[in-house]
Amino acid sequence: MAHRISLFVSLATVWLLLSGHYTGLLLTLGAASCVVVIAISHRMDVIDHESHPIHLGWRLPGYWLWLLAEIVKANIDVARRVVDPSLPIDPRLFEVPAHQKTDLGRVIYANSITLTPGTLSTDVSRDKIQVHALSGAGEDDLRTGTMDAKVCALEGNS
């Protein structure tokens, strides 16, 4: 039930922000459309902890800030490698362990790797992720396990 209520609030908020009209009729139609979407989603059985992960709640903004800082650092590293010919570009394919307990956690981990410039997730399995990195430094950063631990903490498995 909490997922349905949270999804309704999210849909209504987006609808209000995008419509910009706050008359009685339009508010009623917007609320009705949100209720219809919730009813259809419930009937399709697609409202669960993975499709609408409210359990990540308060931990998510901190993770986003940390990931944003990592993206900025990786952008600077990739830009330096492109501009400075003395810095090596040494592409490599390797695997890192994935200690997440849920499919959602593994997806967040793989997407975080891909969002970080210079690295790309190429395959995800139950206990490891195959990664392509632009350099040895990118591989070393992932092998420290910091990102893995952060995603585990995000899903509540620290």
Q: Could you report the per-residue pLDDT of 87-140, keeping only the tens digit for each?
A: 888 899 999 999 998 888 999 999 999 999 999 999 999 999 999 999 988 899
Residue 105 lies in a domain: yes
Percent of the chain surpassing pLDDT 70: 95
CB-based contact 100:109 (threshold 8 Å): yes
The pLDDT value given to residue 3: 79
Query: In terms of domains, do 30 and 67 share one?
Result: no
How far apart (Å, rounded) are the C-alpha atoms in residues 98 and 145? 9
Residues 101 and 31 in one domain: no
pLDDT bin (cut points 50, 70, 90) of residue 52 is: low
Burial of 113 (0-12, 13-18, 19+ CB in 10 A): buried
In a domain, 106, yes or no: yes
From the list 144, 41, 55, the residue with the least C-alpha distance to 105 is: 55
Q: Is the pLDDT of residue 79 over 90?
A: yes
Average pLDDT over residues 4-16: 89
Number of domains into which the chain is organized: 2
**85 is a domain residue:** yes
Task: State both tokens at 106.
Answer: 């593994």
Whether residue 2 has pLDDT greater than 80: no
Average pLDDT score over residue span 45-69: 81
Map residue 97 onto helix, strand or coil.
strand
Placement of tokens 């620290």 in the chain: 158
Instruction: Please state, as a whole number, how many other Cβ atoms lie within 10 Å of the Cβ of residue 31.
Output: 15
| CA 21 and chain centroid, separation | 31
Instruction: Give residue 51's pLDDT band: very low, low, confident or very high (50, 70, 90).
Output: low
> What is the Cβ-side half-sphere exposure of residue 20, based on CA atoms within 13 angstroms?
1
Residue 39 domain flag: yes
Q: Is this model's pTM higher than 0.85 or not?
A: no
Inform me whether the pLDDT recorded for 66 exceeds 70: yes
